[in-house]
């Protein structure tokens, strides 16, 4: 990210949230930028092996057709050329690239704008005989949702993925997705609807216009429904079952956040079918989100309307489930907080525990949310820091376990609390003073893990809410 972009983000943040908050945000961003990262493409040996495996799948007739949907509008020629080349270089070859171009047909005086004639020229130059590329010039520009729907209408693939017109894929992107699909299909012949894959997504990063710098890698967690309601962390690369995508469609009312809207509704469908396993995470960087002047990646304020649409998409998610909520913007644009009405246990019958964070007298995180192994997440994060570029430490999210010293428990689980911890749950407090003072830190952690495991075994979720804070003097 350039100095100009960083200053612009800081100024915008200060206008929204005040000088003190902007100071913390700028300090954290400077810290994060010193964390080393460089994108490393797979080795030639691995890419060759993938191409060979694709040929095996093709002979065995198990290689699904993948439709790549790209709505275009005045795309810079250099970006379109690189997008096209990134698709043609894929180690998995059974794809179709569907271009739905809403750029006006007439010639433009701006040589940096792509029109129909320039697209035809680039296609003739790079892919003159590639019948996998389908070009559809749209007579009207009806917005990104409707334009993407036009591309979807032409899709023949079993799965469809979304690619922005100025971004590009890693060479192994489609292969990694398809490998997961084929593995699931061949692992067990006794498949039910609950075993179907609805959506796959990968990690991603950002890059500048000339590929000389890759940064801000988004290393995503596996499917986390409440984290998704806080932010569109799934984003790129996302691949959907085409029949599901057609059933849901892209909605014009959510232009700017149309991908978030359709991801939320796809995940909701999987949850309704009791198929959380139908949302598959590929933990590799397969998508490169290009940052340039005016892009959302580079300057979130350039598309504030997109984040307003995102908030409305979250509200719609709850409205369709008849859950009463208030969804508000957090200081970082595109990140949201949900308040449940009249309270979370009434509104969300799936939630058994709500946990918060523990801090020391300096405001650093000393406890609160734990992974399956009992490791504390966000340990030592200073006051005012949000947890990195994705701000995950300030977002509501599903947790494996939370700390007994800062939790609220559903009444149906109070007896289990007593059974597994040996002490009664004190409704309305749930703080340090409700626990025996002789308990040591490790014992508290063990009992926290045991109780949370028991609640999960009863079919409840555990929600971590970082705005619920308990200070521990240490």
Q: How far does CA 97 lie from the centroid of its chain?
A: 23
| Neighbouring residues of 366: CB distance < 8 A, sequence distance ≥ 6 | 358, 359, 360, 376, 379, 380, 472, 474
Question: Residue 375 to residues 47, 369, 379, 391, 445: CA-CA distances in angstroms?
Answer: 35, 8, 9, 19, 10
Over residues 82-95, the pLDDT tens digits come to 999 999 999 999 99
Question: Residue 73 to residues 142, 148, 254, 294, 437: CA-CA distances in angstroms?
Answer: 11, 11, 18, 14, 64
Q: What is the pLDDT of residue 126?
A: 86
Q: What is the pLDDT of residue 4?
A: 55
Residues in the chain: 474
Give me the mean pLDDT over the 458-465 stretch. 98
Instruction: Tell me the DSSP string of 173-242.
Output: HHHHHHHHHHHHHHH-S---GGG---EEEEEEEEE-TTSS-EEEEE-PPSP-HHHHHH---S-SSEEEEH
Work out the angle at residue 34's Cα, subtended by the Cα atoms of residues 86 and 24, and round it to the nearest 5 degrees: 115
- At 464 the three-state DSSP class reads strand
Domain ranges of the chain: 3-36, 44-306, 342-471
Over residues 388-447, the pLDDT tens digits come to 888 999 999 999 999 999 999 999 999 999 999 999 898 765 444 468 878 899 999 999
Mean pLDDT of the chain: 88
With b meaning 16 or more CB within 10 Å and e meaning fewer, what string describes 249-278?
A: bbbeebbbbbbbbbbbbbbbbbbeeebeeb
Over residues 122-173, the pLDDT tens digits come to 888 888 889 999 999 999 999 999 999 999 999 999 999 999 999 999 999 9
Q: What is the pLDDT of residue 6?
A: 52
> Are 142 and 259 spatial neighbours (Cβ–Cβ below 8 Å)?
no
State what percent of residues in the chain have pLDDT above 90.
Answer: 70
Beta bridge partners of residue 134, listed in sequence order: 98
> Are 162 and 238 spatial neighbours (Cβ–Cβ below 8 Å)?
yes
Over residues 328-356, the pLDDT tens digits come to 999 889 999 999 999 999 999 999 999 99
| Neighbouring residues of 200: CB distance < 8 A, sequence distance ≥ 6 | 159, 177, 180, 181, 238, 239, 279, 280, 281, 282
Chain position carrying tokens 């555990």: 462
- At 367 the three-state DSSP class reads strand
Over residues 369-395, the pLDDT tens digits come to 999 999 999 999 998 888 888 899 999
pLDDT band at 302; cut points 50, 70, 90: low
Q: What is the pLDDT of residue 125?
A: 87
Question: Residue 54 to residues 48, 172, 225, 378: CA-CA distances in angstroms?
Answer: 10, 11, 33, 40
CATH 1.10.510.10 fits 44-306, yes or no: no
Beta bridge partners of residue 463, listed in sequence order: 354, 398
Distance separating the N- and C-terminal Cα atoms of the chain: 39
- Residue 193: pLDDT over 80: no
Q: Which residue has the higher pLDDT, 297 or 334?
A: 334
| Neighbouring residues of 245: CB distance < 8 A, sequence distance ≥ 6 | 152, 160, 262, 266
Q: What is the pLDDT of residue 432?
A: 47
């Amino acid at each position: 990210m350039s100095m100009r972009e960083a200053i612009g983000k800081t100024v915008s943040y200060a206008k929204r949230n005040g000088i003190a908050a902007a100071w913390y945000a700028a300090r954290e961003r400077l810290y994060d930028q010193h964390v080393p990262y460089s994108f490393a493409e797979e080795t030639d040996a691995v890419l060759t092996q993938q191409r060979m495996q694709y040929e095996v799948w093709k002979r065995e007739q198990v290689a699904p057709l993948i439709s790549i949907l790209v709505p275009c509008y005045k795309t810079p020629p250099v970006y379109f050329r690189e997008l096209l080349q990134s698709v043609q270089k894929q180690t998995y070859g059974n794809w179709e690239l569907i271009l739905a171009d809403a750029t006006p047909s007439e010639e433009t005086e701006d040589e940096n704008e792509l029109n129909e004639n320039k697209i035809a020229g680039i296609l003739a130059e790079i892919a003159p005989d590639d019948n996998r590329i389908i070009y559809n010039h749209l007579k009207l520009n009806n917005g990104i949702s409707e334009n993407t729907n036009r591309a979807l209408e032409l899709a023949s693939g079993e799965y469809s993925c979304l690619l922005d017109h100025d971004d590009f894929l890693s060479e192994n992107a489609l292969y990694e997705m398809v490998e997961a699909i084929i593995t699931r299909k061949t692992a067990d012949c006794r498949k039910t609807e609950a075993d179907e894959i609805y959506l796959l997504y990968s990690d991603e990063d950002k890059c500048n216009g000339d590929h000389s710098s890759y940064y801000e890698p988004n290393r995503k967690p596996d499917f986390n429904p409440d984290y998704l309601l806080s932010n569109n962390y799934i984003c790129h690369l996302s691949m959907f079952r085409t029949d599901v995508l057609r059933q849901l469609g892209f909605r014009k009312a959510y232009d700017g956040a149309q991908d978030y809207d359709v991801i939320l509704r796809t995940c909701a469908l999987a949850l309704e079918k009791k198929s959380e396993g139908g949302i598959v995470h590929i933990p590799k960087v397969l998508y490169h989100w290009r940052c340039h002047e005016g892009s959302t990646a580079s300057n979130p304020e350039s598309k504030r309307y997109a984040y307003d649409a995102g908030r409305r998409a979250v509200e719609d998610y709850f409205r369709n489930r008849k859950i009463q909520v208030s969804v508000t913007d957090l200081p970082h644009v595109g990140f949201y907080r949900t308040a449940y009405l009249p309270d979370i246990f009434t509104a969300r019958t799936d939630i058994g525990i709500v946990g918060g964070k523990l801090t020391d007298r300096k405001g650093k995180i000393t406890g609160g949310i734990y992974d399956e192994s009992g490791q504390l997440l966000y340990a030592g994060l200073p006051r005012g820091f949000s947890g990195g570029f994705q701000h995950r430490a300030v977002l509501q999210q599903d947790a494996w376990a939370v700390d007994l010293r800062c939790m609220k428990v559903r009444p149906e689980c109070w007896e289990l609390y007593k059974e597994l911890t040996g002490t009664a749950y004190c409704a309305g407090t749930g703080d340090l003073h409700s626990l025996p003072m002789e308990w040591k830190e490790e014992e508290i952690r063990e009992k926290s893990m045991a109780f949370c495991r028991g609640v999960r075994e009863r079919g409840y979720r555990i929600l971590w809410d970082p705005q619920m804070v308990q200070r521990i003097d240490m």
